[in-house]
Structure 1
Amino acid sequence: MQNIDNKQYDYLIVGSGLFGATFAHEMTKAGKKCLVIDKRDHSGGNIHCKKIEDINVHWYGAHIFHTNDKTLWDYVNQFAEFNRYTNSPIANYKQTFYNLPFNMNTFYKLWGSKTPSEAKAEIARQIEHLNLDEPQNLEEQALKLVGTDIYEKLIKHYTEKQWGKKATELPAFIIKRLPIRFTFDNNYFNDKYQGIPIGGYNKIIDCMLKNSDVKLDTDFFEDRAFWSSQAKKIVFTGKIDNYFDFKFGELEYRSLRYELEVHDTENFQGNAVMNFTDAETPYTRVYEHKHFEFGTQPKTVITREYPITDTKNAEPYYPINDERNMSVLKQYQQLAELESNVIFGGRLAEYRYYDMHQVIASALKKTKSELETE
């Protein structure tokens, strides 16, 4: 067995997404030697961008950085300058458009409500005959928040497409993070800081990884013993159940499939993000990528997003945090605690739906803890 003191690297980092890249940056800054491997042919995980028609295309769906934490905002701005992009998606219900998040513009379009009190009164009228004091599922929680009209047109079918389940079968907490405003404000996020890195997310990842050795097209599990022998510790950002050979069964995810199109027009839909909330449209969203960076290119690139259940051949995106999966996760977490030379981090290793700033915060916390315990 190779002597740990003679190993070439301090850390083998499996996965070059935001968690792995942040960890690598902090550790190389502290004088550690890192090897980053990734099974894909590019770094950056799901925030990877590809340049098509001189447009930065978000290859794995839209990624909009937003946070209330000035420390995190300053942290990412050291790697790239961010623009002033504000996320203001449009809901398309059978070719009638509504502003998102639900706000006074939405209420006026639906009911002609001109004041917050009128909108609140209409929601109360719509649900007064329902017993919604303690919502038991997503449908009941949504009805309590926004009434029957908005639920039927803008939530029910979109959500059921996204999750592949009836809204009555989904837990109430999923919808609780949905913004609802009684102001004329189309800004989807409440966070103080928001934007897209000018030139795309690749600039950030490239800066983070510049002092690490990086090997792409490299699957950790194809030669696990070899790669494990290369470093004193492993940082694992893949699926936690995969690391333990699915000993307790597979954790479930919803996934997405993307269809990209180039259009010989300057402007396809007039907005970066459009949600399709009817049941008949098979996709949930259409992204027009140039609008993320206020592009003026002569052509445009769009992506249609389709939810799928097959995560064996597709990237797992949304953990299904129901009772069964959380019970299985707990068993894997108990095994992970016994792995003294392995650090598990990121959305797959932690089986959590993370926004980008949360992934970075998690990585920074773990690097700090790691350096303090040396």
Structure 2
Amino acid sequence: MMKKYDYIIVGSGLFGATFAYEATKRGKKCLVIDRRNHIGGNVYCENVEGINVHTYGAHIFHTSDKEIWDYVNQFAEFNRYTNSPIANFHGEIYNLPFNMNTFNRLWGVLTPQEAQDKINEQRLESNIKEPKNLEEQAISLVGTDIYEKLIKGYTEKQWGRKASELPAFIIKRLPVRFNYDNNYFNDKYQGIPEGGYNVIIDKMLEGIEVRLETDFFENRSEWEESTLKIVFTGMIDEYYNYQFGKLEYRSLKFENELLNLDNYQGNAVVNYTDSDTPYTRIIEHKHFEFGTQDKTLITKEYPSEWKPGDEPYYPVNNKQNNELFQNYKKLAEQEDRVLFGGRLADYKYYDMHNVISQALQLVEKEFSNI
């Protein structure tokens, strides 16, 4: 029986859009479907008063992979934005990642050696030999002062659990710099696409059939019958009808406010690291593109436990969930007509360059004989 499509791609985020673009280039007929009313997944931007608002939280593209950097630059011009978030602890301002600016503000130290000595002193005082949880892991890496002011409150809000109840492996290492470099990332390439991420997704999906507000699961059999293969970028446990149980996620709620100011906080991202402030950070979107608009739009991020109907953002990669995921992964590996990929299908948090790289690897594997 002749199929209508070669590939139906479920999800129009970076993974789905990259695969659809590459498959179409190779002469394949693709259909992209998405539950939402827009393309782009979590990198979607909404234009408000001339400001490109990162609808689903801050997205800063960064990579050391020149091939991936060149790949995305074919779709958009990138600006020179450098991610330099700051932390607000009860009105005290600190630089992130932890560097000499942070240490000077904390302890008044002036040299890298003084900072190292202070951290080592606190690590020794803690007498933690084998960290049993995130709290002990963090203290054993950076000492008590940094942990109490810049890690504890933020982490507990982010995960909805006490740091002493979180597994140590969540913080395998913490970036500590003994210089005055405020650049959060170490990658060679970094920036924001001029005009927002929609520019990239729009070009990737140009000329490809897209259906929005379309739920794969509502007409699953129909989609399966009309295509040779499916590329699934959604939740892998949902694909298998939660037969082994539901994987856990953390979700986010966003509170936007358009202000009649030209500058609210002077930085794109400010983390609130105390436990009393209910949100984890405030994003001021115009700073991503060095905006000069008369108004500004800020977003407060409130982490929450995921429940059906919410957007799943962060997989809770503890031992229990990772073991559960392996059951689903074994099923996925047995499929011959379904290809899985992306953050939700792999139950793993990916940066954007990882998602694109993974999609291109799948393309290479899928079309190696063409």
Aligned equivalents of 1:72, 1:251: Cα separation in 2: 30
Cα distance in structure 2, aligned partners of 1:58 and 1:254: 19
Residues 1:88 and 2:113 are matched in the alignment: no
| Residue 110 of structure 1, aligned match among 106, 109, 113 | 106
Structure 1 residue corresponding to 2:47, chosen from 41, 46, 51:
51
2:180 is aligned to: 184
Name the amino acid aligned to 2:9.
I
Partner of 2:359: 363
How far apart, in 1, do the equivalents of 2:244 and 2:326 lie? Answer: 10
1:248 paired to 2:244: yes
Deviation at 1:42, TM superposition (A): 0.1
Normalised TM-score (structure 1):
0.97
| 1:18 alignment partner in structure 2 | 14
Q: Distance in 1 between matches of 2:369 and 2:216?
A: 27
Find the aligned partners of 2:163 and 2:261 in 1 and give their Cα distance.
38
Deviation string 1:185-239 (CA, Å, 9 cap, x unpaired) is 1000010100000000000001111132100010000110111122100000000
Amino acid in the other structure paired with 1:63? H
Q: Distance in 2 between matches of 1:129 and 1:257?
A: 39
Other-structure match for 1:140: 136
Q: Does 1:200 align with 2:196?
A: yes
The reply to whether residue 264 of structure 1 matches residue 299 of structure 2 is no
Deviation at 1:368, TM superposition (A): 0.5
Letter matched to residue 74 of structure 2: Q
Shift of 1:169: 1.6
Distance in structure 2 (CA, Å) of the matches to 1:221 and 1:364? 26
* Aligned residue identity for 2:234: G
Worse overlay, 120-129 or 169-178 = 169-178
Deviation per CA, 1:117-166, whole angstroms, max 9, x where unpaired? 10010011112122333322211121122111110011001100000111
Aligned residue type for 1:46: N
- Paired with 1:165 and 1:363, the residues of 2 have a C-alpha distance of 33
Q: CA deviation at 1:372?
A: 1.3
Name the residue aligned to 2:293.
297
Tell me the residue number matched to 2:342: 346
Can you list the C-alpha shifts for 1:255-291, whole angstroms capped at 9, x where unaligned?
1000000000000000000000011100001000000
2: CA distance between counterparts of 1:177 and 1:129?
19
The amino acid across from 1:95 in the alignment is: G
CA shift for structure 1 position 373:
5.0
Counterparts of 2:19 and 2:130, CA distance in 1: 42
- Cα distance in structure 1, aligned partners of 2:284 and 2:323: 39
Distance in 2 (CA, whole Å) between partners of 1:136 and 1:75 is 42
Segments of 5+ residues of structure 2 without an aligned counterpart are: none
Question: Does the Cα contact within 8 Å between 1:22 and 1:360 map onto a contact in 2?
Answer: yes
Q: Pick from 331, 336, 339: which aligns with 1:335?
A: 331
The answer on whether the counterparts of 1:179 and 1:189 sit within 8 Å (CA) in structure 2 is no
* RMSD value, Cα: 1.0
SS class of match (1:249): coil
Contact 2:38/2:212 (8 A) holds in 1: yes
Alpha-carbon offset, residue 171 of structure 1: 2.0
Structure 2 counterpart of 1:275: 271
Q: Which residue of 263, 273, 284 maps to 1:288?
A: 284
Once the two structures are overlaid, the 10-residue window that deviates more, 123-132 or 59-68, is 123-132
Local SS of the residue matching 2:361: helix
2 CA distance for matches of 1:55 and 1:180? Answer: 33
In the alignment, is the contact (CA less than 8 A) between 1:28 and 1:211 conserved in 2? Answer: no
Alpha carbons 1:25, 1:211 under 8 Å: kept:
no
2:141–2:173: 8 Å Cα contact kept in structure 1? Answer: no
Answering whether residue 168 of structure 2 is matched by residue 168 of structure 1, we say no
Q: What SS is found at the alignment partner of 1:128?
A: helix
The SS at the match of 2:174 is coil
Amino acid at match of 2:144: T
The whole-number CA distance in structure 1 between the counterparts of 2:54 and 2:30 is: 27
Deviates more, 1:224-233 or 1:151-160: 224-233
Measure the CA separation in 2 of the matches of 1:32 and 1:144.
Answer: 53
Work out the percentage of aligned pairs sharing the same amino acid. Answer: 65
The answer as to whether partners of 1:34 and 1:213 remain within 8 angstroms in 2 is: yes
| Secondary structure at 1:372 match in 2 | coil
In structure 2, the residue matched to 1:71 is: 67
**Aligned with 1:153 (options 149, 169, 178):** 149
Mapped contact 2:251–2:306 kept (Cα < 8 A): yes
Query: Normalization by structure 2: what TM-score?
Result: 0.98
Distance in 2 (CA, whole Å) between partners of 1:81 and 1:134 is: 47
**In the alignment, is the contact (CA less than 8 A) between 1:257 and 1:314 conserved in 2?**
no
